[in-house]
Structure 1
Amino acid sequence: MPADLAVIGLGHLGLPLAQAAVAAGIQTVGYDTDPRAFAELSAGRTPVEGPLTASDVRRMLSGGFRPTTNEAELGRVRTAVICAPTPLGPDRTLDLSAVGDAARALAARLRPHTTVLLESAVPPGTTENFLLPLLETGSGLRGGRDFHLAYSPTRLDPGNRTHVHANTPKVIGGLTPACTESAAAFYSRLTDKVVRARGPREAEMTKVLETNFRHVNIALVNEMAVLCHDLGVDLWDVIRCAETKPFGFQPFRPGPGVGGHGVPVDPGYLPYSSRTPGHPLRMVSLAQEINDRMPQYVIQRCATLLNEHGKSVRGARVLLLGVTYKPDLADQEASPAREIATRLMDMGAQIGYHDPHVLDWRVRELPVPRADSLYEAASSADLTVLLQHHRTYDLQGLAVKAQLLLDTRGATPAGAAHRL
């Protein structure tokens, strides 16, 4: 049966979109070149950590969702959404190769009047300067005339049960006004509110602004954490007081580093065009530098605490709690836990971990021992470090059992542990 929608890329972006579409009654096919992803989904399992559970996938399949590796399926839909990953490359620019592969696969099958949407995180200008030429060259069709093209930044917050597709406004920017309206007609089936941007670049820059806003403010509060520790000030109490201001303030909280799939984007670097503005965002670069330093600061605090209790890092038994990038999810994407574990191992510490969502964890391809009993492991460890606050953790009880507890999330009761 022909589908109304093709979601191209069945990762942390594409699967939740496909889930929302199926729930809205849209006949959806999911395309991915990875045979493992196809096999896992076909068997009712999720191929990626985090956004969906196996039961979610089974409900999607029973609702008519069809995973496929067959490009021919892309030529039978009215709407195609590219959700390919754009990881950060060695030069700190986003790698658009997966978007390019998706565009070429779609272009070979693209039919007139199809609406093509891009949701991947990309630098401003990608939709017009990178995606459009690939689609036009591969299909022989003209964007804005023969097919519709628009960009819509994803705003997915994995694990958030309050803000889902239906009640999170969708920003869209089309190549032409008609493209915008075609995109709006599709997204209106998934969400209560559609926000029209002036064009693709404005929609792309919206994603840049939203992501960088988060990173810059996290960097600010991370610096405040270091300063407050040096001054003997309780930062979490400061934040509690500051967030009572009804205007001009939004609370952010420090942590051992920044993880997740959303990476800071500097539009001063456009890898696909010679028209580089030449004005990199200095604040974004500085924020990234500050956030990148946090794992090392955690190590410094670990060493200091052990030393104050007559122990050295070398030979110390260190238990890491929560190795995912977000609470109550299994996704480990860019979690600072791996770097912290690596640095501690380099210093001679004996590392163990506990995480209710991660049954097997490896650092440098070597398995890290997993604690079966949290309290027993904490009581026998020289130092326990809370890296992620999963809600299953009884932190008050843990603070009693642990010999020495460093809380990098400010989640323990005041005075119960050493806070970041």
Structure 2
Amino acid sequence: MATIVQNVALLSKKEKNIRDISLRRTALVKDALRAMTKNNPKETNIPAGIALVTETSGKLLGLVTDGDIRRALAKGARITAPLADIMNKDAFVIVGPMDNAGIFSLVNEEIRNRGVHEHRYDKIIMVDEAKRVTDVLSFYDLWQGSDVRFKRIGVAGLGYVGLTLALTLADLGFKVVGVDVNERTRDSIKQKKTPFYEEGIDVLLQDHVGKKFVVSENFELNNRCDVYFIAVGTPIGEDNVPDMTYLKDAARNIGKVLKRGDIVILRSTVPLGTTRNIIVPILEAASGLRGGEGFFAVFAPERTIEGKALAELRTLPQVIGGINQASSNLAASIFSMMTKSLAVVDSTEEAEAVKLINNTYRDVTFAFANEVSMVCQKWNIDTNKVIEAANMGYARSNVPKPSPGVGGYCLVKDPLIFAYGARVVGYEPKLFEYARRVNETILTNLAEDVIKHLDYLTSKQKSKIFILGFAFKGNPPTSDLRGSTTVALAKYLVERGYANIHGYDPVVSKEEIEQLGVKVVRKVEDGFQNADAVLVMNNHPALEELSVRSLMTKAHIGAALFDTWALYNKEEVLKTKGISYRRL
């Protein structure tokens, strides 16, 4: 059943021949493709990529978009299939006529009610009281014709944070300009090739690059926008001080093109006070405008998990903190198009704290589990077993399993950024940095246990080490090696003189692994063959599904399996004669 809202006023529009994109219930998928191909929006004023299924009276039965057809074909449908099999029978329609402001208000309300993750409103259908189609509108054209100021969005930084955000905004109907200083990154995206693994990103690249999403080296001339997101890296230097170079450069470049009424939204993780005390003054100096009056500024942290970022952008609550209330309100109007839940806090500093709290809490929690593991190992206690027992039926305990350190770009640096911000105001934090040391120590201990095992078994020259899982995490899958504990482990072993190291990862590229001095195996079985030590370093689902008991029969007698994520049944693995099994 279609969702219907009642009319308000009159929509002024050019004459459109809706019959050109209208098909009957008996039409086929190929008929819809033909109608979409024939439709030239510049001539017809009808949005591209849509076909209607109507009765002879013009009453709407359903609609099909080019995206619906692509997804259906990807699932095995044929172009000779009945259009009724794939059409959307629950289309959002508006009973008109209605003015642009009224349409825009109702679309916003519908998005909040339904949630944009399942229902996107790139095309808007208007019907009369008899449900006969009277108009088809493009959501972006609606914005252009309305009094809403945000016509184009710019994203500075097209890494894991920026690219997923840019594509999500394009998928919601916004025109997006993405800027990155790295030429290779820009060229890869322009060719619709993803620079990294992220579930669902390939489809969005194919859908939007060169259309709603364009890539450039700057925001100058025709690339000027109304909304600017900054999503560049803030790495930690050797002195544990955040490097703000990329962030300051991005702010200067945006400030040069900033015009009155624009809004700048910072996504990068930063020390407390950065938005107000560093970024806003840079924008003011470069633009000649005053923050909060001439332009608006907000900190709205990215909190998605790699591998599920595209889904979480549309479902996680978005935290917003502006330099004033007007800034927060404007940012909320943007994010309300993307997610149903907003958490508007009172300042940029509060929003900055939220991201630091989230990631530092996780790092500290993992450090607790890892220190428990190091104590249990000394007592010859199975850490995973006792943690499971401690958590069972006890709601006040939710201790995570131990892991071979804590990796990832965010978790290894954000506690240090939090600590830096504390020192700026005269407080010397203790817990944040101690937790970091614990998570580093457990990895060093693991490396030394591997070396001790190999020294007992054979020589460095003859030892074969097989490592599975190089990405910093396995589930959800990602190809990101930044902050990977496996990378640190491999480098440690190479530095200690072990040269016969073999590796495998279901997602990470062969070239990236080989740069570590690791030989990439063609098949997992090849890695187990004659291995002296096998280390499973992340929890990718493909690794969990391995028949390890059978594979370990290919290893040398005396070999050890280091199951750092406790993926396998210990008793089952030990049925393989002549091998040992170790957990954290």
TM-based fold match above 0.5 = yes
Task: Give the fraction of aligned pairs with identical amino acids, expressed as a percent.
Answer: 27
1:15-414 paired onto structure 2 within 5 Å:
15-48=163-196, 50=198, 53-61=201-209, 64-72=212-220, 76-160=224-308, 164-245=312-393, 247-262=395-410, 263=413, 264-270=415-421, 276-306=424-454, 310-313=457-460, 315-327=462-474, 328-349=477-498, 350-361=500-511, 365=515, 367-393=517-543, 397-402=547-552, 403=555, 404-414=560-570
1:336 and 1:87 mapped to 2: Cα distance?
17
Do the aligned partners of 1:266 and 1:281 also contact (CA within 8 Å) in 2? no
- Are the aligned partners of 2:494 and 2:517 in contact in 1 as well (CA < 8 Å)? no
Distance in structure 2 (CA, Å) of the matches to 1:147 and 1:161: 29
AA of the residue aligned to 1:325: F
CA pair 298-261 structure 1, distance change in 2 beyond 3 A:
same
The count of aligned residue pairs is 416
Say if 1:61 and 1:106 are closer, same or farther in 2 by CA, change over 3 A: same
Please give the alpha-carbon distance, in whole angstroms, between the structure 2 residues aligned to 1:25 and 1:138.
Answer: 30
Q: Sort the Cα spacing of 1:211 and 1:286 in 2 relative to 1 into closer, same or farther, 3 A.
A: same
Whole-angstrom distance in 2 between the partners of 1:73 and 1:212 = 41
After superposition, the C-alpha distances for 1:38-74 in whole angstroms (9 at most, x for unaligned) are 1111111123455764443222326611111132168
The answer (yes or no) to whether the contact 1:23–1:63 under 8 Å persists in 2 is: no
Tell me, in whole angstroms, the C-alpha distance in 1 between the residues paired with 2:390 and 2:484. Answer: 28
Distance 1:114 1:74, change over 3 A: farther
Give the distance between the partners of 2:478 and 2:513, measured in 1 at CA.
19
- SS of equivalent to 2:467: strand
Unaligned 5+ runs, structure 1: none
Give the Cα–Cα distance (whole angstroms) in 1 for the partners of residues 284 and 386 of structure 2: 55
Q: Secondary structure at the match of 1:71?
A: coil
Instruction: Report the alpha carbon displacement of residue 178 of structure 1 after superposing the two structures with TM.
Output: 1.0
3-state SS, counterpart of residue 120 of structure 1: coil
Could you give the per-residue CA deviations for residues 190-219 of structure 1, whole angstroms, max 9, x where no partner exists? 111010111000100111111110111111
Following TM superposition, by how much is the alpha carbon of 1:254 offset from its aligned partner in structure 2, in angstroms?
1.8
2:470–2:513 CA contact under 8 A, matched in 1: no
Q: Is the 8 A contact 1:399 1:405 kept in 2?
A: no
Q: 2:407·2:484 contact (CA, 8 Å) conserved in 1?
A: yes
Q: Which runs of 5+ in 2 are unaligned?
A: 1-139, 145-150, 574-580
Describe the shift of the 1:157–1:181 C-alpha distance in structure 2 as closer, same or farther (beyond 3 A).
same
Q: 1:341 and 1:376, CA in 2 relative to 1: closer, same or farther beyond 3 A? A: same
Equivalents in 2 of 1:362, 1:195: separation in Å? 39
Amino acid at match of 2:582: H
Distance 1:173 1:74 in 2: 30
SS of the residue corresponding to residue 260 of structure 2 reads: coil
Partner of 1:190: helix, strand, or coil?
Answer: coil
Deviation at 1:36, TM superposition (A): 1.6
Distance 1:33 1:19, change over 3 A: same
Residue deviations 1:113-138 (CA, integer Å, cap 9, x gap)? 11110000000100011101000000
Moved more, 335-344 or 391-400: 391-400
Letter in 1 for 2:292: G
Q: Deviations over 1:282-338 (max 9, x none)?
A: 100101111122221111221343456x33555311001011101122111110112
- Give 1:24 deviation, angstroms: 1.4
Change (3 A) 1:268 1:405: closer
Q: CA deviation at 1:343?
A: 1.8
Kept in 1: contact 2:561–2:582 (CA 8 A): yes
Amino acid at match of 1:392: A
Counterpart-to-counterpart distance in 1, 2:478 and 2:454: 30
Higher relative contact order (CA 8 A, sep 6+): 1
RMSD: 2.4
Q: How far is the alpha carbon of 1:266 from its aligned partner?
A: 4.2
| Cα displacement (A) at 1:32 | 1.5
Q: 1:146 Cα deviation (Å)?
A: 1.1
Partner of 1:380: helix, strand, or coil?
Answer: coil
Q: Higher mean Cα deviation, 344-353 or 287-296? A: 344-353
Partner of 1:419: 583
Show CA shifts across 1:160-192 (max 9, x none).
379611110000100001111111111111111
Partner of 2:101: none
* 1:237 positional shift: 2.0
Alpha carbons of structure 1 residues 175 and 191: separation in structure 2 relative to 1, 3 Å: same
Whether the aligned pair in 2 keeps the contact of 1:41 and 1:57 (CA below 8 Å) is yes
C-alpha separation between the residues in 2 aligned to 1:140 and 1:162? 36
SS of aligned partner of 2:265: strand
**Contact 2:544 2:568 (8 Å CA) reproduced:** no
TM-score norm. by structure 1 comes to 0.92
User: SS at 1:256's partner residue?
Assistant: coil
Name the CA shift for 1:283/1:58 in 2 (closer, same or farther; >3 Å).
Answer: same
Which one has a bigger Cα radius of gyration?
A: 2
**Structure 1: how far apart are the matches of 2:330 and 2:337?**
12
d(CA) in 2 for partners of 1:49, 1:261: 15
CA separation in 1, counterparts of 2:454 and 2:278? Answer: 52
- When structure 1 is superposed on structure 2, of 75-84 and 130-139 the one drifting more is 75-84
